[in-house]
Amino acid sequence: MVSRDRRITVVARSVRLVPVLLASALAATACGGGVHGTPGGSGVRDPYFPKAGNGGYDVTHYGLRLAYDPGAHHLTGTATLTARATQDLSAFDLDFLGMEVEKVTVGREAARWNRAGQELTVRPHDDIDRDETFRVTVRYSGAPETVTDPDGSREGWLRTADGALALGEPTGSMAWFPGNHHPSDKAAYDLTVTVPRGLRAVSNGELRGERTERGRTTFVWHCGEPMAGYLATLAIGRFDVGRSAAGDLPMYTAVDPAEAAASRPVLKRIPEVLRWAERRFGPYPFSSTGAIVDRAAEVGYALETQTRPVFPGAPDLTLLVHEFAHQWYGDSVTPESWRDMWLNEGFATYAEWLWEEDHGGRSAQETFDALYSGAHFDTEEAGEEIWEFPPADPPSAARISDPPVYWRGAMVLHKVRQAVGDDRFFSILKGWAAKYRYGNAGTADFTAFAERQAPGADLRPVWDEWLYGDGKPERV
Ligand code: TRP
Ligand code: ZN
């Protein structure tokens, strides 16, 4: 997407006003046939994270070669991104936080770069033409940082007792590799990670290789289906590894030995959860599955990292269902922007209700009623929290994962179900996952999709009162 924000104006103006810069810009492109490109934007206008992502190009593949030494807390990396220019580019940004950049090349030529906050601005030797596919390589090293989110939670690169854990929702992946770190730009990944012998490195997708040489072990991971950067993970440490299958799917689990005994009974149920989810949501979208259970002191949350969710300790079955439901809703169908979080969390929460309904527990209607009355919660305050803002419009970045997004987001889906009936509703759940498989979709896409699937139903009040409306809706 071509995005014009203040930063571009500043760059453009300084090029016009400062002759030295102009001269060097011309010199840099002299053999490339003149200046025709403009800088890509430093963000994609996300309403909550305006600097996340970058304009002017689309990444199709990340090739990451990393080496980490937990003792020294030192990471070295070479990131090779393959991208397609969506405009003529004289410069473009990558999101990258901390670390030290040693060298940047675009194609075969060394490129100039500079850094400001999370923006690594790359000025290639030659301008890049619109629609051209180009390769940018960034060599870097240093001590990767832990990031504090607007809501106070911790992500990015997290140290563990025996290694590290990389988590990226919403913006932490820029702490360990440079990229276009916004959910709207999805790409395939190949990740090669070298760690001291005795430790393992576990990531998304399939393990393609493992070799030990001179005291270090290298793991090669491949994730072929498009993945948003925030869903990339890397766990380094000692793990009990389980290799098995869920139906035809290869399954790889890596569990902190201290959590192994408690995790075993629930992880054994992954194949059953996937079978159920396929019946409800349609075909599983990825080529492998599994889980990572790892303890980082600062992390108390699970994350739906693609193909292989991360749990901060032995999960319970409900949390397992939640993170696996995200594989359809969030990972395969990914929000267009962080405003659309309810498409992730409302769906994953509703999946919990459906699991319960399908396994002899409360019906989704009963769960809905208990939420509406407040009986679901221990305290009155907790019951009131879910009405604080409409799920489709969190008031700030600090609140994109607050209770209204989860609970009331799920209630929106239940209201859709009431309005269209079970048959239509379940075909909407499946159809949504099918239509936007491997892509991105926003809230307006969902409302339009649901309306098209249920032409006779009046969904307006659901959107107006439950999805976009302030306060607790009148019961309808
Ligand atoms: N997406 C996670 C889940 O519900 C929760 C989470 C972890 C999260 N980190 C976050 C949500 C950051 C929003 C922002 O499974
Ligand atoms: Zn979730």
Q: Is the CB of 340 inside a 6 Å radius of any atom of ligand 1?
A: no
Other beta carbons within 10 Å of 173: 29
User: Are 134 and 267 within one domain?
Assistant: yes
User: Are 308 and 402 within one domain?
Assistant: no
Q: Looking at the domain assignment, is residue 98 inside a domain? A: yes
Last residue of a domain, one of 325, 342, 373: 325
pTM of the prediction?
Answer: 0.92
Element (DSSP H or E) covering residue 341: helix 341-358
Residue type, 203: S
pLDDT at 34: 53
User: Are 253 and 385 within one domain?
Assistant: no
Residue whose pair of structure tokens reads 């929460």 in the numeric block? 349
Instruction: Inform me whether the pLDDT recorded for 26 exceeds 90.
Output: no
Q: Looking at the domain assignment, is residue 237 inside a domain? A: yes
Give the three-class secondary structure for 146: strand
Strand positions, DSSP E, 319-474 = 334-335, 440-441
The CATH code of the domain that includes 197 is 2.60.40.1730
Instruction: Inform me whether the pLDDT recorded for 1 exceeds 80.
Output: no
Beta-carbon contacts of residue 381 (< 8 Å; ≥ 6 apart): none
Q: Is the CB of 401 inside a 6 Å radius of any atom of ligand 1?
A: yes
The Cα-based distances of 27 to 22, 34, 273, 338 in angstroms read 9, 9, 60, 40
Q: Looking at the domain assignment, is residue 140 inside a domain? A: yes
User: Are 360 and 437 within one domain?
Assistant: yes
Cβ atoms of 6 and 50 closer than 8 Å:
no
User: Are 389 and 257 within one domain?
Assistant: no
The Cα-based distances of 62 to 18, 49, 277, 285, 296 in angstroms read 36, 22, 29, 20, 26
pLDDT at 460: 97
Instruction: Inform me whether the pLDDT recorded for 404 exceeds 50.
Output: yes
User: Are 255 and 383 within one domain?
Assistant: no
Arithmetic mean of pLDDT, 69-74: 98
User: Are 247 and 388 within one domain?
Assistant: no
Q: Looking at the domain assignment, is residue 290 inside a domain? A: yes
Instruction: Inform me whether the pLDDT recorded for 179 exceeds 80.
Output: yes
Query: What's the structural domain count of the chain?
Result: 2
- Name the DSSP letter for residue 448: H
- Name the DSSP letter for residue 463: I
Cβ atoms of 465 and 474 closer than 8 Å:
yes
Mean pLDDT across the chain, nearest whole number? 93
Residue whose pair of structure tokens reads 């498009």 in the numeric block? 226
Nearest C-alpha to atom 11 of ligand 1 is from which residue? 401
Determine the Cα–Cα distance for residues 281 and 236; give it in Å rounded to an integer. 32
Determine the Cα–Cα distance for residues 107 and 111; give it in Å rounded to an integer. 9
**What DSSP letter does each residue of 238-296 carry, written as one string?**
--EEEEEEETTEEEEEEE-HHHHHHHHHHHTTHHHHHHHHHHHH-S--SS-EEEEE--B
Q: Work out which ligand 1 atom sits closest to the CA atom of 330.
A: 1
Q: Looking at the domain assignment, is residue 13 inside a domain? A: no
Strand positions, DSSP E, 96-132 = 100-106, 109-110, 112-116, 119-123
State the distance from the centre of ligand 1 to the C-alpha of 420, rounded, in angstroms.
30
Nearest C-alpha to atom 12 of ligand 1 is from which residue? 169
Tokens describing residue 346: 């409302």
Assign 325 a pLDDT band (cuts: 50, 70, 90). very high
State the distance from the centre of ligand 1 to the C-alpha of 249, rounded, in angstroms.
26
User: Are 128 and 177 within one domain?
Assistant: yes
User: Are 150 and 249 within one domain?
Assistant: yes
User: Are 257 and 406 within one domain?
Assistant: no
State the distance from the centre of ligand 2 to the C-alpha of 383, rounded, in angstroms.
19
State the distance from the centre of ligand 2 to the C-alpha of 326, rounded, in angstroms.
7
The CATH code of the domain that includes 455 is 1.10.390.10
Residue range of the domain that includes 377: 334-467
Residue whose C-alpha is closest to residue 191's, from 107, 75, 18: 75
Last residue of a domain, one of 325, 352, 374: 325
Cα pseudo-dihedral 259, 262, 267, 272, rounded to 10: -170
Q: Dihedrals φ, ψ of 71, to 5°?
A: -60, -45
Beta-carbon contacts of residue 200 (< 8 Å; ≥ 6 apart): 217, 219, 236, 237, 238, 239, 241, 254
Q: Is the CB of 170 inside a 6 Å radius of any atom of ligand 1?
A: yes
Instruction: Inform me whether the pLDDT recorded for 29 exceeds 50.
Output: no
Cβ atoms of 290 and 308 closer than 8 Å:
yes
Instruction: Inform me whether the pLDDT recorded for 160 exceeds 80.
Output: yes
Return the ligand number nearest the Cα of 344: 2
Assign 476 a pLDDT band (cuts: 50, 70, 90). low
Q: Looking at the domain assignment, is residue 457 inside a domain? A: yes
User: Are 298 and 230 within one domain?
Assistant: yes
Tokens describing residue 384: 């009131």
Cβ atoms of 249 and 274 closer than 8 Å:
yes
Last residue of a domain, one of 267, 294, 325: 325
Instruction: Check whether the bond before 170 is cis (ω within 30° of 0).
Output: yes
Instruction: Inform me whether the pLDDT recorded for 330 exceeds 50.
Output: yes
- 9-22 pLDDT, tens digit per residue, is 333 333 333 333 43
User: Are 275 and 180 within one domain?
Assistant: yes
Tokens describing residue 405: 């997004």
Q: Looking at the domain assignment, is residue 475 inside a domain? A: no
Cβ atoms of 179 and 94 closer than 8 Å:
yes
Tokens describing residue 456: 């006779």
Tokens describing residue 113: 């770069």
Residue whose pair of structure tokens reads 């305290």 in the numeric block? 379
Q: Looking at the domain assignment, is residue 156 inside a domain? A: yes
